[in-house]
């Protein structure tokens, strides 16, 4: 005998044009399952009192309430027992409604939450050591994550609202790292938007965050842009970098330690060390920097990284996500940064066991890097397809466990 499933109940609501009553839900499910009335109405005892109820209808209601808890369906105001589907975006993606908080999957170290970041982090009480994220860019033609601010002020208010509950839980000297877009222009103008500068000021003035550094992410494989101003009007250069801003709530107690991210010495430096250092005396910058005999003679553990990151946008994890998405028939996240960018900041700004969060989880690269570096992590996203696809990267980690909804979720 066929049994109800979460997929079936979700499909019934998704394919209905309006509200569905419980009786209509039972009837439609019965038709899909091909059950006779006797099988549909067959009862079994429930609870300590042993009340007789239909087992099939009980299972259907259980799946209904699961969808309700996820905000996949919502009750129609003023109409008892009437429920309707409520989560499809205009791109056909499954987006969490306000109030939804469901653990999509978890490991021993962290969890990916299906829900809006404000709902997730407003109730979080754990101390946070690092927030690293890439908010949706304020593009005129938005990608599938659908943020549509009318102006710079709305976008800045949005980012501040998302970060506020996170900042409240930052430990003393914790950090916030933001990757934002650089090729954003004033409407109908080749002049660049000043929203990055306005955002930096707002985070300082409204949330008390101090700017520690501006770190350009140079990506020479970045697509030519802005297309109109660079390729048609020819008045702009092609963009090849995006800004990454590093903030802290206490610059005097900041937890960064560049010894955790030292790079190997280059060949020229190795030769200097082998030869006992330099053998000349000179000054640079009107004496601001001096070279003396035996400079660079110490055999140190490594060299301090420069505050510029040069990486392409692709990595093996991104390629794996695209492969998983294609196999499942889902879209991959449209704007993934390579995993070694969050990995660098996690190593630089946190210690093993501390918590790292990302309110715009997307492809879950922050959680993936944290997992590999033995940090606790919490990421969330409103689009269920992206969580489903990215979960494949975590399936081999200790304690991996996925929700029933994640397991049953397939392309509609």
Q: Where are the domains of the chain?
A: 6-85, 101-262+304-408
**pLDDT score for 187:** 85
pLDDT > 70: what percent of the chain?
Answer: 84
pLDDT score of 169? 97
DSSP letters spanning 175-211: EEEEE--S--B-TTSSSBP-HHHHHHHHHHHHH-PEE
The pairing of strands 210-218 and 309-310 is: parallel
**pLDDT classification of 145: cutoffs 50, 70, 90:** very low
Banded model confidence at residue 183, pLDDT cuts 50, 70, 90: confident
pLDDT at 387 over 80: yes
What is the pLDDT at residue 88?
A: 63
Please give the CATH architecture assigned to the domain spanning 6-85: Orthogonal Bundle (1.10)
Asked if pLDDT for residue 146 goes beyond 80, the answer is: no
Q: How wide is the angle at C-alpha 360 spanned by C-alphas 114 and 122, nearest 5°? A: 70
Q: Which neighbouring-strand residues pair with 19? A: none
pLDDT at residue 7 above 80?
no
Residue range 101-262+304-408 in CATH 3.40.50.150: yes
Q: Residue 189 and residue 186: Cα distance in Å, rounded? A: 5
Q: Taking residues 332-349, what's their average pLDDT?
A: 92
Greatest mean pLDDT among 13-27, 39-53, 135-149, 360-374 lies in: 360-374
Is residue 347's pLDDT more than 70? Answer: yes
Quote the percentage of the chain above a pLDDT of 90: 46
Token pair 């520690």 is found at 212
Per DSSP bridges, beta strands 20-21 and 170-179 are: unpaired
Q: What is the pLDDT at residue 149?
A: 61
Q: Which letter, b or e, does each residue of 329-368 get, where b requires 16 or more Cβ atoms within 10 Å of its Cβ?
A: ebbbbebbbbbebbbbbbbbbbeeebbbbbbbbbbbbbbb
Give 77 or 121, the one with higher predicted confidence.
Answer: 121
pTM of model > 0.95: no
Closest CA to 175 of 146, 141, 203: 203
pLDDT top residue among 227 and 296: 227
Least confident of 278-282, 393-397, 401-405: 278-282
What value, to the nearest 5°, has the Cα angle with vertex 158 and ends 154 and 164? 140
pLDDT in tens, 186-245: 888 999 899 999 999 999 999 999 999 999 999 988 877 678 888 899 999 888 899 999
Total length of the chain: 412
Q: What is the pLDDT of residue 282?
A: 54
Which of 46-50, 155-159, 380-384 has the weakest average pLDDT? 46-50
Using the predicted structure, report yes or no on whether residue 79 has a pLDDT greater than 80. Answer: no
Of 46-55, 67-76, 384-393, which gets the smallest average pLDDT?
67-76
Residue 383's Cβ-count burial label (10 Å; 0-12, 13-18, 19+) is buried
**DSSP string over 64-119:** HHHHHHTTSEEEPTT-TTEEEE--B-TTS-BBPPTT-EEEEEE-SSEEEEEE-HHH
Whether the per-residue pLDDT at 92 is higher than 80: the answer is no
- Strand 282-284 with 289-291, pairing: antiparallel
Q: Which two tokens stand for residue 366?
A: 């922050």
């Amino acid at each position: 005998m066929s049994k109800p499933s979460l997929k079936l109940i979700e499909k019934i609501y998704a394919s209905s044009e309006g509200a569905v009553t419980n009786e209509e839900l039972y009837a439609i499910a019965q038709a899909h399952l091909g059950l006779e009335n006797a099988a549909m109405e067959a009862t079994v005892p429930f609870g300590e009192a042993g009340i007789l109820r239909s087992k099939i209808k009980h299972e259907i209601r259980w799946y209904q309430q699961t969808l309700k808890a996820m905000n996949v369906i919502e009750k129609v105001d003023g109409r008892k027992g009437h429920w309707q589907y409520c989560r499809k975006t205009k791109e056909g993606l499954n987006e969490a409604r306000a109030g939804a908080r469901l653990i999509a999957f978890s490991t021993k170290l962290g969890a990916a939450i299906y829900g809006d970041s404000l709902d997730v982090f407003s109730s979080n009480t754990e101390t946070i050591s690092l927030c690293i994220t890439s908010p949706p860019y304020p593009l005129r033609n938005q990608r599938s994550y659908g943020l549509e601010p009318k102006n710079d002020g709305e976008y800045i208010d949005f980012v501040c609202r998302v970060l506020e509950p996170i900042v409240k839980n930052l430990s003393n000297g914790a950090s916030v790292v933001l990757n934002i877009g650089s090729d954003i222009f004033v409407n109908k103008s080749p002049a660049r938007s000043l929203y990055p500068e306005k955002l930096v000021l707002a985070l300082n003035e409204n949330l008390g965050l101090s700017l520690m550094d501006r770190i350009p992410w140079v990506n020479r494989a970045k697509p030519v842009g802005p297309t109109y101003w660079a390729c048609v009007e020819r008045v702009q250069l092609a963009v090849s970098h995006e800004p990454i801003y590093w903030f802290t709530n206490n610059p005097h107690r900041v937890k960064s330690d560049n010894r955790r991210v030292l790079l190997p010495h280059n060949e020229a430096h190795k030769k200097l060390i082998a030869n006992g250092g330099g053998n000349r005396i000179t000054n640079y910058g009107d004496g601001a920097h001096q070279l003396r005999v035996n400079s660079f003679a110490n055999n140190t553990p490594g060299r301090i990284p420069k505050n510029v990151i040069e990486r392409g946008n692709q990595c093996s994890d991104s390629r794996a996500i695209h492969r998983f998405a294609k196999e499942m028939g889902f879209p991959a996240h449209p704007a993934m940064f390579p995993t070694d960018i969050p990995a660098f900041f996690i190593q630089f700004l946190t210690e093993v066991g501390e918590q790292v969060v990302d309110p715009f989880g997307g492809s879950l690269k922050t959680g993936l890097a944290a997992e590999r570096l033995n940090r606790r992590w919490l990421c969330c996203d409103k689009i269920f397809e992206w969580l489903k696809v990215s979960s494949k990267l975590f399936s081999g980690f200790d304690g991996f466990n996925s929700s029933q909804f994640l397991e049953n979720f397939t392309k509609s």
